[in-house]
Structure 1
Amino acid sequence: MQGPLSGIVVLDLSRALAGPHGAQMLGDLGAHVIKVEHPSGDESRGWGPPFVGPDQEISTYFLAANRNKRSITVDMKSDEGRELIERLVRQSDVLIENFRTGVLDRLGLSFGRLHELNPRLVILSITGFGHDGPEGGRPGYDQIAQGEAGLMSLTGPSRDEPYRVGASIADLLAGIHGAYGVVAALYERERTGRGRVVRTSLLASVVGVHSYHGTAWTVGGRVPGAGGNHHASIAPYGAFRCADGMIQIAVANEGQWRKVATLLDIDPEITKYTTNRDRFAYRDELIADMEKALAVHGRAHWLAALGELGVPAGAIRSIDEVYAWDQVRSQGLLVTVDHPVLGPIELPGPPLRFETPDGFETPDGFETPDGFETPEGSNGEDPHRHTPPPALGQDNDAVLDWLREREQTEEGRRE
């Protein structure tokens, strides 16, 4: 089965997390992704703990963002390296980079030059704070962007204790937004025949998901702040203590509120709790009243009772519990790959599923790209397997062979 992006070649010059995550998303959709690394390797190969493998040399951080890719090593500062990149650019559909502004220019690989080499090339450029503006080109990492983009001010127990989001959400959002922009540019290219530059940044990606927090200020004139584990606009909506821990309850309408109030023996028509506006104004009292009632029983009791009423509620799971959960596994959110050193390992899987009109679903990834053998150590009998994150430079020879074959085919067409 062909993936939605089957036949698309992605030249991934990025490193760390934002760019690699975006490239991995394109690879999950069937694109052929060539990861270009400095001979010393992507710096995330050294990020940990935890490290795994016989010599504890493999970074689980790197494994998270580089499935379905081929790795080649190139010194882009050398004449030979730049020549190889130019050859690859001519055969690629997409180039992803997250260098600091001006680095590619100094290497002789400006966006103008890249489009001279390949007018159909879609370029995804990810920066920390944008490539222009008063602070354009400023370097940025995830936590810095979370703070600068206001996310930390919305996260934590109070305004006085800003917290970072536990996941590297600025990086991941930048990768997601970047992949989304690439797909749009590829669609546009079908009409125009030309590529374009797609730009995003860690800053833009976080500000881009402010949503109602943003309009609270831009329209409502109120500066939102951290509300702990409770919603900024809806009550009751958050985490509540019961006899043996915490559960989450999300009440989004008045019908749900009446069900919860009746279950907890709270009068739903009491003036201070009648509407969401009232309940939010008296939120602290509401939380206290609810937790007093919830203290009588444990989590299992309340989750079952709320489930019977059709009220959204849930546990707060640890990461190991999430990956052991049958529902997560049923959604394809874990994929098994055969790593050449580690053997069969499970990786967090892609968040999208694709079905044909007759209901056939691709079971586990997409076909190995034309011109490449199934990677050593993987199940060669199954063309739908995801491929493991590559060892540094493991595909140097395979990519060069593929490149020469493409160039020869192109030359033959011109003749």
Structure 2
Amino acid sequence: MNLPLSKIKVLDVSQIMAGPFCCMLLGDMGADVIKVETPGVGDQTRKSMGFRLKGDDSGGFLALNRNKRSVEIDLKNPAGLEAFYELVRGADVLVENNRPGVAARLKIDYPVLREINPRLVYASISGFGQTGPWSRRPGLDLIAQAMSGVMSVMGHPDAPPVKSSVPIADLGAGLFCAYGILSAVIGREQTGQGQYVDASLFETALGLSVWESAEYWGTGTVPVPIGSANRMSAPYQAVRAADRHFVIGAANPKLWTALCEVIGRPDLPQDPRFTDNAARIRNRDALIAEIEAEFARANAAHWVDALLAAGVPAAPILDYGEALVSEQAVAREMVLEIDHPVEGRVKALGFPVKLGGTPQQVRYPAPLLGQHTEQVMAEAGLGEMAIQALRERGAFGQPAPQAPARERRTG
């Protein structure tokens, strides 16, 4: 059966993380994603992710670019622009993540492309959005985490600043952008017109700060780091057992009472410091000291089993070496093996959302640079001679060397 987005063609003119992740999500749902890359260079992630594999592309590039085809087009070359505009005519969606102003200089911004294809949904992902006093600042996940407030609440009190190791601003912007794109595509069915989608790393990080903003507006107190604890309930955090830490989530009165029974402290719910959730939050340090004194009597595995048996959410803290091979990850097919033309069989994360009627599939591994240029241009309606003419004019990189003209004989 056709996947839900099988009739949607996407031009991925982005690179590194947020844009490629967005386009990969669309590709996983069946969209025909054409990755437009600079000839001879490609996406920066191909070579800049810190570790290399057998071929020229990094593991990071492979992780963000499955279910795409790659074309090389020189957007700074007039012939390259001609070729690109041909692709735009048949596209449904375009995603770019240049700094604001760059797309206009390249003549691939929304006002230009809308004239070519009024149905185009054009999505831009930037550090701070297309407007506002910060719009021209360079945007990175680190910068967005810093300026959104996220870094101010990470880590532990009185410790140096830390960021989320998982790049939540980058990946979250890709998710939000995909949500905006699909909304615009559905809306196009009513209006017949595409529209502009403006997503940013800053607004993503701020938009995910639900508890922190609620605390600030509700109490007037600026949120501070609280380690693994939760701002809205306690106990809900990592705690120490005899051998290691594990996590508990006693987020309501029933679970709190059950936890106290498991650890042999049925008196704690009557302690004035812990009578309700608000009191437990105010006295969190004392609360954790009381229950950790009991948890120190046995290993984490014992407490996790005992708490789960009593209906209290609890879990060990797994590292990635454990999580990726866990029975749940295996059962949910969260590790895939993909055949790559250079790397051979490589592992990749599976699909985090499952469709029951039209299950996703890996149709393409991450493409080699320019692997599908001829194929995609032919699908756009260009004949072999037209493609060759564009190639000779440098549309797809350095033009083919010209044979020297024969000297004219005289006499």
- Same fold, TM exceeding 0.5? yes
SS at match of 1:346: strand
Bigger shift: residues 96-105 or 325-334 = 325-334
Matched, 1:19 2:19: yes
Offset at 1:160? 4.4
Deviation digits for residues 370-391 of structure 1, max 9, x if unmatched? xxxxxxxxxxxxxxx4421111
Deviation digits for residues 103-158 of structure 1, max 9, x if unmatched? 11112223111100000000111110111111222211110111011111111012
1:344-355 to 2 correspondence within 5 Å?
344-355=345-356
Cα gap change, 1:123 to 1:90, in 2 (>3 Å) = same
- 1:403 pairs, out of 353, 357, 380, with 380
1:297 is aligned to 298
Q: Which has the higher contact order (CA 8 A, sep 6+)?
A: 2
1:37-116 to 2 correspondence within 5 Å?
37-39=37-39, 40-53=41-54, 57-116=56-115
Offset at 1:288? 0.9
Q: Distance in 1 between matches of 2:49 and 2:208?
A: 28
2:282 is aligned to 281
Matched, 1:308 2:333: no
8 Å Cα contact 2:69-2:364 kept in structure 1: no
8 Å Cα contact 1:335-1:386 kept in structure 2: no
Q: Distance in 1 between matches of 2:34 and 2:109?
A: 20
Offset at 1:333? 1.9
1:36 is aligned to 36
Q: Distance in 2 between matches of 1:82 and 1:400?
A: 13
Aligned CA RMSD, in angstroms, stands at 1.6
Offset at 1:219? 3.6
Bigger shift: residues 152-161 or 271-280 = 152-161
8 Å Cα contact 1:336-1:386 kept in structure 2: no
8 Å Cα contact 2:37-2:73 kept in structure 1: yes
Query: Which segments of 5 or more consecutive residues in structure 1 lack a partner in the other structure?
Result: 366-384, 407-415
AA partner of residue 181 (structure 2): V
Q: Distance in 2 between matches of 1:246 and 1:205?
A: 31
2:160 is aligned to 161
AA partner of residue 369 (structure 2): L
1:10-409 to 2 correspondence within 5 Å?
10-39=10-39, 40-53=41-54, 57-158=56-157, 160-266=159-265, 267=267, 268-356=269-357, 362=359, 364-365=360-361, 385-404=362-381
Bigger shift: residues 257-266 or 329-338 = 329-338
TM-score (norm 1): 0.89
8 Å Cα contact 2:87-2:377 kept in structure 1: no
Deviation digits for residues 179-205 of structure 1, max 9, x if unmatched? 000000000000100000011100011
Offset at 1:159? 5.2
8 Å Cα contact 1:16-1:44 kept in structure 2: yes
Bigger shift: residues 43-52 or 302-311 = 43-52
Q: Distance in 2 between matches of 1:35 and 1:237?
A: 43
AA partner of residue 170 (structure 1): A
Deviation digits for residues 50-87 of structure 1, max 9, x if unmatched? 2211x5x3311111110100011111000111111111
Cα gap change, 1:159 to 1:176, in 2 (>3 Å) = farther
TM-score (norm 2): 0.90
8 Å Cα contact 2:124-2:198 kept in structure 1: yes
SS at match of 1:247: strand
Q: Distance in 2 between matches of 1:262 and 1:12?
A: 55
Cα gap change, 1:261 to 1:193, in 2 (>3 Å) = same
Offset at 1:98? 0.6
**Higher Cα radius of gyration:** 2
8 Å Cα contact 1:332-1:349 kept in structure 2: yes
1:9 is aligned to 9
8 Å Cα contact 1:127-1:137 kept in structure 2: no
Q: Distance in 2 between matches of 1:160 and 1:342?
A: 42
2:388 is aligned to none
Q: Distance in 2 between matches of 1:122 and 1:279?
A: 49
4+ residue runs over 3 A deviation: none
Q: Distance in 2 between matches of 1:287 and 1:342?
A: 49
